[in-house]
Structure 1
Amino acid sequence: MSLRTAGSVLVVFFWSVTVVLGQDGWRVTYTTQSICTLKGSTVDLFCSYTHPSDYTVTTTFWFTKNYAVGPVNLKDDPDYKGRVTYREDEENGHTLTITDLRESDSATYMFRFTDQTGKWRYTGKPGAALSVTGFQVKVTGKTLTCITTCTLTDNPTYIWYKNGHKVKEDTSSLDSDSFSDADSYSCAVKGHEDLLSPAVFVVASRLSMDTPMSVFHNLS
């Protein structure tokens, strides 16, 4: 897996795959990992497919919702309007790109295709599981922690900001013996500093080493 920056947008590629076999040579290949990435970023999901040589694939699409009438093409889903693109790759590869990710995009994404007869030949399962998260700064004792609802893929480096200025580039925690009520704190990950957490300021007078819960004020 690799991580690259397109402008200020997070683009994530996943290469670990599993093979899902259909009948008579139909096959779809997905990523096996659970994918966790940031709200506001862009993600690429990959699959590839094979079919018997006497068939031609005519229609392909990705979906998350499957109603009584059948799966809904993401391009036709109003929740994804203007944020989804497809790309056909070499050797029957297919890429789904979702931009401006929202936490509501957390779902399992599956791929489907038809042959020249118009018959839906295969829907690959289990699909690619995507989780989308934002940041929140949690305060416990004299430690600030940049927390997410899932573990970000690729173990990124965290960046801490104090009053809008970078003060540390390291892990998801920041320790200090001198928090001040006048100072605000926020966090991000390296290379994607525009995707900041909401800024908070610590109520220093309430901090102690045995603080039982988060103590902060959100400035956004």
Structure 2
Amino acid sequence: MKKKAIFWDFDGTLVRSNHLWSGSLYRALGGSENPYGIAFEDVRPLMRSGLTWHMPQFSYPHMTGGAWWDYTRAALAAMCVRLGVGIDEALRAAERAREIILDPSSYELFDDTRETLERCLALGYENHILSNNYPELGDTLEALDLARYFAGCTVSAKVGFEKPRPEIFDIALKNAGRPAAAYMVGDNPRADIEGANNCGMVSVLVHSESPAPARHRCGELKEIPGILA
């Protein structure tokens, strides 16, 4: 029997995280009661650049795992400084933001996440995570009781490449044993859809009204089993 696999994005695809990174940094600074007069709307624009997934053109195999967090904490602290926070407090806020991001309670599964993953397994597909994300994502999957649905987890901060780079897709496909049928499910038109299309995978756009050239479009996860070949 030919091997079949589905590669899933995480944030925005399997879980809601409500502006995870900007929200976490805002909370780390004290939220609405912060002493700096910083509004959430002040933080949001700063999260549009500076993190590794904003710069997929750069590879960083030398900066994975803990080194990735060293870079990311420094980037978060720099954002705080731009908001008028002193460097010492900025560094503390960056570490607090990391703790919030790694807290499983920061994530909420979509109502049909488990059902869909189970149905895909029943149809003979392996599920794999393919995410631009922090190196501890596997631990988050365990804490959310999602790990049991997945045969593998390829994360940018562990391999040094960000979607839509072909290298991370190739690593994920290799880890999955080069399946004969490979689907990529995600909500990001560039990272997920463009990346999958360029690598010959079947792209599936979910939770998005973007005009991205996806092979399939699904408003809800539970529609996905119906499109599988």
Q: What is the TM-score normalised by the length of structure 2?
A: 0.26
More helix by share: 2
Q: Which has the larger radius of gyration?
A: 1
